[in-house]
DNA sequence: TTCCCTTACGTACACAGAGTATGTATCCTG
DNA sequence: CAGGATACATACTCTGTGTACGTAAGGGAA
């Protein structure tokens, strides 16, 4: 008994995506069944399978969505920071840390995603978003071409781990952890700035 | 019909562990069933459940074993490098990169482990092994106490990502990728050395 | 030696969850 | 206003985990 058409269907897909995002973020991928997602979205598993190929596909859509949000935040921060690549690197990196720790993104993007969609695919997603910005600004800031990919990986990994460290730190001290992460990050980035 | 006793049982447990290590490393945690492991080890699932609490428990044992191996390699390299903390940091970091990319460790330790055993537990394991060494040498090299944990996380994450980058790089160019990773790592560590 | 408890498995079963096949009511297009 | 196409719901199958139970050997205690 489908009450829906066209626009309503897209709305349903979005509700499923939102429910999945919440559940995956709070319990982790493995502990969430598609029945949980369907119930939370007020539909049956049939609807979920209609809009997404399978559980991994749904997760992929969730991850891509979050990834795009984070990349947006980074891009905005870098643009606001001005035209100097050094400032863009600093501002973008800090924005990345804040954006990815704020959202329900950490569990999904940094813990489950590599295992669920595979590291290759995960990195491909990342390379199309925030990592691309990082790589470009590192090039402008004078990192040698031969070391560009490796350096991008290093710094990307550093910031990801810092984000996990902040997100999973004792909840009463998240703010001080965040401050320390930013300070340590500055120290690290200083070696790339003039 | 148990043919085994005491010493033979330990041998069985080890065979199961070895089989699990191979299978988890090549296919990833989710794609390996306990029946696969049991068959590969020449026993039934009953034997697996006798020696390990459940699938996650078996995986945890595998991860802990690999983790210890890597930490050993790092400790040895640091000791050989001499008494100067700066040299220990350099040598230990490079040894870490080589050790973790050589073994079947990458898929298990860096991709599946955080998702399977949880990030908190994973970090606890890491903190008892290679991360502890890193933290200590960073302290000796002059990193401020307030930034010690954050900096350890940053550098640990950087090296983990570099390891993934090397391990998953195009198989025909693994060696050049490794060289680039080492070079970029040196560049990064240089800011912590005199 | 015999008894009996424990160890070290093997076997059988229950249950959850993923994926698939099928049914069906609504929408949309000609 | 037919007739597909869409958007779901329902029902079923199958794989894999976990658990309960069975059972043969090892190893002290009597």
The Cα-based distances of A130 to A76, B126, B164, B193 in angstroms read: 11, 27, 18, 29
Clarify whether residues A36 and A70 are in a common domain.
no
pLDDT of residue B10: 87
Clarify whether residues A111 and A183 are in a common domain.
yes
Least CB-CB distance to A119: which of B153, B168, B185?
Answer: B168
| Mean pLDDT computed over A6-33 | 94
pLDDT of residue A194: 77
> pLDDT band for position A6 (50/70/90)?
low
Residues of chain B with pLDDT under 50: 1-3
Residue A4 has pLDDT above 90, yes or no: no
Least CB-CB distance to A162: which of B111, B154, B191?
Answer: B154
Q: Say whether residue A140 is in contact with chain B using an 8 A CB cutoff.
A: no
- The 10 Å Cβ neighbour count of residue B190 is 11
pLDDT of residue B9: 77
Clarify whether residues B38 and B95 are in a common domain.
no
Inter-chain contact A115–B30, Cβ cutoff 8 Å?
Answer: yes
Clarify whether residues A47 and A67 are in a common domain.
no
**Which of B115, B97, B69 lies closest to A153 in space, CA to CA?**
B97
Q: How far apart are CA B179 and CA B66, in angstroms?
A: 24
Q: Say whether residue A28 is in contact with chain B using an 8 A CB cutoff.
A: yes
Clarify whether residues A19 and A72 are in a common domain.
no
pLDDT of residue B3: 43
pLDDT of residue B6: 67
pLDDT of residue B8: 79
pLDDT of residue A150: 97
**Closest residue (Cα, C1') to D11:** A46
pLDDT of residue B5: 61
Cβ neighbors of B50 (< 8 A, separation 6 or more) are: none
Q: Say whether residue B193 is in contact with chain A using an 8 A CB cutoff.
A: no
Q: Are A108 and A22 in contact (CB under 8 A)?
A: no
pLDDT of residue B1: 40
C-alpha distance from B194 to closest chain A C-alpha (Å): 13
pLDDT of residue A8: 78
Which of A36, A52, A68 is the last residue in one of the domains?
A52
pLDDT of residue A3: 41
Clarify whether residues B17 and B83 are in a common domain.
no
Q: How far apart are CA B118 and CA A112, in angstroms?
A: 10
Q: Tell me the CATH number at A72.
A: 1.10.357
Clarify whether residues A76 and A12 are in a common domain.
no
- The 10 Å Cβ neighbour count of residue A86 is 17
Cβ neighbors of B24 (< 8 A, separation 6 or more) are: B32, B59, B62, B104, B107, B108, B112
Clarify whether residues A94 and A119 are in a common domain.
yes
Clarify whether residues A90 and A177 are in a common domain.
yes
Over residues A101-150, the pLDDT tens digits come to: 987 899 999 999 999 999 999 999 999 999 999 999 999 999 999 999 99
Mean pLDDT score of chain B, rounded to an integer? 94
Clarify whether residues B32 and B59 are in a common domain.
no
Cα maximum dimension of chain A? 65
pLDDT of residue B140: 97
Find the Cα–Cα–Cα–Cα dihedral A88, A94, A95, A99, rounded to 10°: 160
pLDDT of residue A5: 62
Which residues in B lie closer than 8 A to residue A180 (C-beta atoms)? 146-147, 149-150
Question: Alpha helix locations (H) across chain B?
Answer: 6-27, 34-41, 45-51, 55-80, 85-102, 105, 113-117, 119-127, 130-140, 148-167, 174-190
Clarify whether residues B80 and B128 are in a common domain.
yes
Q: Say whether residue A133 is in contact with chain B using an 8 A CB cutoff.
A: no
Residue-number span of the structural domain to which A12 is assigned: 1-52
Q: Are A35 and A53 in contact (CB under 8 A)?
A: no
Structure-model confidence comparison of residues A10 and B160, the more confident one: B160
pLDDT of residue A1: 39
Specify the number of domains making up chain B. 2
């Amino acid at each position: 008994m489908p009450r829906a058409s066209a626009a309503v269907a897209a709305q349903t897909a979005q509700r499923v995506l939102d429910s999945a995002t919440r559940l995956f973020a709070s319990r982790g991928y493995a502990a969430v069944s598609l029945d949980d997602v369907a119930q939370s979205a007020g539909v049956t598993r049939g609807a979920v399978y209609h809009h997404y190929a399978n559980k991994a596909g749904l997760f992929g859509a969730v991850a891509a969505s979050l990834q795009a949000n984070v990349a947006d935040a980074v891009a905005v921060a870098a643009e606001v920071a001005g035209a100097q690549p050094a400032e863009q690197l600093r501002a973008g990196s800090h924005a990345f840390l804040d954006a990815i720790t704020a959202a329900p993104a950490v569990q999904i993007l940094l813990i489950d995603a590599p295992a669920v969609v595979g590291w290759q695919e995960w990195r491909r997603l990342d390379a199309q978003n925030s990592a691309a910005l990082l790589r470009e600004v590192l090039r402008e800031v004078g990192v040698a071409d031969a070391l560009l990919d490796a350096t991008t990986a290093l710094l990307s990994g550093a910031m990801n781990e810092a984000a996990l460290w902040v997100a999973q730190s004792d909840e009463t001290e998240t703010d001080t952890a965040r401050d320390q992460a930013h300070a340590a990050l500055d120290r690290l980035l200083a070696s790339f700035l003039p």
